[in-house]
Structure 1
Amino acid sequence: MSDVPGQNQRFTAPSPFLTWLLMIGVMLVATLLRLPRLALQSVAFDEGYSLAVGSAAWPTLFKATLSSGVHPPLFYIIYKTVLPLWGPTEFGGRFVVVVAGLLTIPCLYQLGRRMFGRPVGLLAAALLALNPLHVWLSQEARMYGLLILLATLSMLFFWQALRTNQARYWLGLTVVNALLFNLHYFGLWLPFIQFVTLLTDFRRYFSRFRYWVMAQFVAGLALLPWIFFTARRPAQTFGIGFLDTPNLIDLPLTYWNLAIGLSWGAAWPLTGVALAAVALAVLLGVVRSNAGFGPAQKIVIWWLILPVGLVWLISQRRSFYADRYLSFVIPAVILLISLGL
């Protein structure tokens, strides 16, 4: 039986007990890929900045974050809180991000299960556990592992709120989006995707729209203090001037990177074969989505194309196009691949 009312599935869903066993196996593999080598790599420049700011006194932390203006302060506040537990070492600085990366896997399982059924959820969880870019970002002392987790949770709460209209899901969406807004400016793409979803299916979700607006309004209030202090900075500059203007070829390369990790090394022929297989799976996912194009499919498609496409267009004038900034699209890529397999 399907976990999604009215959702046809190509495979018989595994029993809850077998699902539990499979998810334990997926989590073990994910942990082995992310945790053992955590302290072996030296600290990169951006990671060193995270450790320095997270270890500083509170006034220095806020001054440093405000002076750069690149990111809101939530990640450094979290770092300031948890770093004393493990110390400002390679392992300690990366451990909290590994935890966020591992938590994303069961969250994506839940999102896939509730949208498309248990088999898709399991496959999506397994693919995320093996995803090279997600493994790398889960081992980096930066905010991107947490960004992917919060993006997945935001879409999970959004989907459940649309389905059930229960207050607990609207509350969850409000809290998660408030955290997203204060973690990374690209977190603002999540409510935009949700807005487009509601707008393109307005008749269906008319009664839900006002609750969504209220949730975003309350979530946005949490960002107002940061906006106020940012607007009062003497110099309105942001430390992303090093980013090049993206070319048209960067669009497929970004999706390549998000799906299986971009590699030009000696193994690039094998990577090319893997890319072809993934492209075929995505194509099949799109075709099968069109065959039964419901609200869940719309959310995944908008999540897949809107952030990457619009950031690319805007970056033709002033570039802020970087794959790591767009890493919150990884769950959408994986869900679409899972639909096609």
Structure 2
Amino acid sequence: MMNWQSVWQKRPLPPLLLILLLAFGLRLIGLDSQSLWWDELKTIQRAAMAFPHLMTDLAGHRAHLPLYFMVMQLWHGLGESAFVVRFFSVIWGVVGIAGIFQLGKHIANKRVGLLAALLLAISPFYIWYSQEARMYSFLPALLILAHWALAVAIQKKKLLPWLLYALLMIAAVATHYFSLFVIIAHYIFFVLHFRQLRPQTIRWFLTMLLVGLCLLPLAWFVFTSGNGEAIATVPAWIASIQWSDPLLTIWNFSIGPGIGLGEWYGYSATAVFLFAFVIAMRPARRRKTDQVTYSSLFVRLFIIWFSLPLGLTFLVSLNWPFLPDNPFSLYLDRYLIISLPPFLLMVAWGIDDWATKPSTRFAAAKRWLQSGFILMAMVISGISIWQLNHNPNHLRNDWRSALERINEYPTNNTVVLGQQDIVLPIDYYGDTEIVYVQLPPPDGAAISTSYIAAIRQQIETAVQHSPTAWHIEPFYNHDTHQFPETRRQQLANDSESMAQSWLMANFTMLAQHRLPGIRLTLFELEAGLQN
């Protein structure tokens, strides 16, 4: 009797098409249901810039590299709606799934490729970033295709795979700094396996020489722009590293942030994923002296690809005593999405290796357990995806609803108060008649006399336009793993904001609305100034 594993192995195209359709559907459903948040609006702003202005804007911060935004400049001609700008990420999310099938098929078999494609297709973490107008579905797709080209180049004496690998790695490095971790991982792999892969190692170093020459203009741009300090590229809002962070990253890679840490089934599912990953590591320990075992070599490559970005980022983010007194952290799961493909590929490989290993007593049971794993992964992913798209605590900052609420209150002139980061959303979603008045940033841990003087001056400016004003406070999900608890607590507590505390103490609150990631408060200003 033929089982479904045999069908997948002999005729992979029909299940692959179903997986790609599923992936496309999961990414297309609700694509524009959530509001664009600040980072996505910044993508639109940069996509609309002329190329010289784009490079000037990037040079001022150096937090991002230019390729993704250059490509989005071409895409921008199709429109600026949430659906259009996010659809670019949908396409690359599906490309990554097709790519991981090719990679898994090449290094293992068609079953591994299909299972890896299915896991990536239903991954809540990958779906989230495949529905966001940022580079976090574009980048993994480039790296998946680069590893497929590298795997072909290692096994076949052809020039074209090496050129394709070089081109994809140039694109990846020009998209995000963390792609350099992948090059370091490849360096370690080839150095460790120089004896088994001597010709391929020499070709790799020559390829990296070509990659380095092509990236010299980008390196010159990065090191000559800004204020000359490398630390300028590190966002200050990333939370300090915790010892539990790598385990929580694996949690996200397995089931996504939609499953809360208090749910027992989340721990169970993550443990199953880890078990499968460990099983896949077994070929790395096998040694054959008479021939090169490509399966064991590729397992080692994927282990290094997965672990090195996590390990190096963790170590760099620690507060070392010999470093300056201004510690910083780079550890953020969306940056580490480059390690998601090897993790899921290893999980798929482990499940397939365990289920198909010769065994007369438990063969049928193992096939049923493999089917159970797939069912479990789909159910858990479905729960996580539902939470991410319907639980208000998980939703992106709802600027669209915020501006709609403000427009519901009739007034001759609408005045909004806030920090500089509310300008982009107002320009995109707001009415042209909205007057923006910037409030001063805090100048210390407590409200000072100078801060009161500065904020009163801005309030006086606002009163010239209208006796009332909306104070808009965005609360971003800066959690390392995208868990929503911290943002939810900030949103519920008025004392979290110095400006809000002072306004509440000195003016009459007329209305307040709490939306996903945003707090709106309407104040009567004129009477308060007179008092």
Higher RCO (CA < 8 A, seq sep 6+): 1
Please show how residues 25-104 of structure 1 align to structure 2 within 5 Å: 25-85=18-78, 87-104=79-96
- Does 2:301 align with 1:299? yes
- Does 2:319 align with 1:309? no
Which 5+ residue runs of structure 2 have no aligned equivalent? Answer: 288-294, 320-327, 352-531
Contact 2:47-2:76 within 8 A present in 1 as well: yes
Classify 1:290/1:61 alpha carbon distance in 2 versus 1 (closer, same or farther; 3 Å).
same
Which 5+ residue runs of structure 1 have no aligned equivalent? Answer: 1-10
Residue 242 of structure 1 is matched in structure 2 by: 237
Counterpart CA distance in 2 for 1:276 and 1:91 is 36
Please show how residues 1-341 of structure 1 align to structure 2 within 5 Å: 12=6, 14=8, 16=10, 18-85=11-78, 87-235=79-227, 236=229, 237-263=232-258, 265=260, 268-287=263-282, 289-290=284-285, 294-317=296-319, 318-341=328-351
Counterpart CA distance in 2 for 1:13 and 1:198 is 36
Q: CA deviation at 1:264?
A: 5.1
Q: CA deviation at 1:283?
A: 2.5
Q: Which moved more, 1:197-206 or 1:280-289?
A: 280-289
Classify 1:123/1:289 alpha carbon distance in 2 versus 1 (closer, same or farther; 3 Å).
farther
Contact 1:13-1:119 within 8 A present in 2 as well: no
Over residues 6-60 of structure 1, what are the superposed CA-to-partner deviations in whole Å (9 max), with x where a residue is unaligned? xxxxx647355x2110001101110110012111110011111111111112222
Query: Which amino acid is the alignment partner of residue 315 of structure 1?
Result: S
Q: CA deviation at 1:229?
A: 2.5
Q: CA deviation at 1:334?
A: 0.6
Counterpart CA distance in 1 for 2:347 and 2:119 is 9
Query: Which amino acid is the alignment partner of residue 62 of structure 1?
Result: M
Query: Which amino acid is the alignment partner of residue 81 of structure 2?
Result: T
RMSD (Å), alpha carbons: 1.8
Query: Which amino acid is the alignment partner of residue 312 of structure 1?
Result: F
Instruction: Give the TM-score normalised by structure 2.
Output: 0.60
Q: CA deviation at 1:289?
A: 4.8
Instruction: Give the TM-score normalised by structure 1.
Output: 0.91
Q: Secondary structure at the match of 1:26?
A: helix
Query: Which amino acid is the alignment partner of residue 322 of structure 1?
Result: L
Counterpart CA distance in 1 for 2:133 and 2:33 is 13
Residue 4 of structure 1 is matched in structure 2 by: none
Over residues 99-124 of structure 1, what are the superposed CA-to-partner deviations in whole Å (9 max), with x where a residue is unaligned? 00000111100111111111111110
Over residues 220-253 of structure 1, what are the superposed CA-to-partner deviations in whole Å (9 max), with x where a residue is unaligned? 2232222212322251322512112211100111
Query: Which amino acid is the alignment partner of residue 348 of structure 2?
Result: S
Over residues 114-169 of structure 1, what are the superposed CA-to-partner deviations in whole Å (9 max), with x where a residue is unaligned? 11111111110111101110101101110010110011111111111111131010
Classify 1:299/1:13 alpha carbon distance in 2 versus 1 (closer, same or farther; 3 Å).
farther
Over residues 304-328 of structure 1, what are the superposed CA-to-partner deviations in whole Å (9 max), with x where a residue is unaligned? 2111011100111431111111101
Counterpart CA distance in 2 for 1:155 and 1:182 is 17
Residue 8 of structure 1 is matched in structure 2 by: none
Q: Which moved more, 1:315-324 or 1:113-122?
A: 315-324
List structure 1 segments (4+ residues) > 3 angstroms apart after TM superposition. Answer: 11-16, 263-267, 287-293
Counterpart CA distance in 1 for 2:285 and 2:331 is 29
Counterpart CA distance in 2 for 1:23 and 1:230 is 41
Q: Secondary structure at the match of 1:184?
A: coil
Q: Which has the higher helix share?
A: 1
Q: Which has the higher strand share?
A: 2
Classify 1:15/1:323 alpha carbon distance in 2 versus 1 (closer, same or farther; 3 Å).
closer
Contact 1:182-1:222 within 8 A present in 2 as well: no
Identity level (%): 28
Contact 2:260-2:266 within 8 A present in 1 as well: no
Q: CA deviation at 1:287?
A: 3.7
Contact 2:26-2:127 within 8 A present in 1 as well: yes
Contact 2:63-2:234 within 8 A present in 1 as well: yes
Counterpart CA distance in 2 for 1:202 and 1:194 is 12
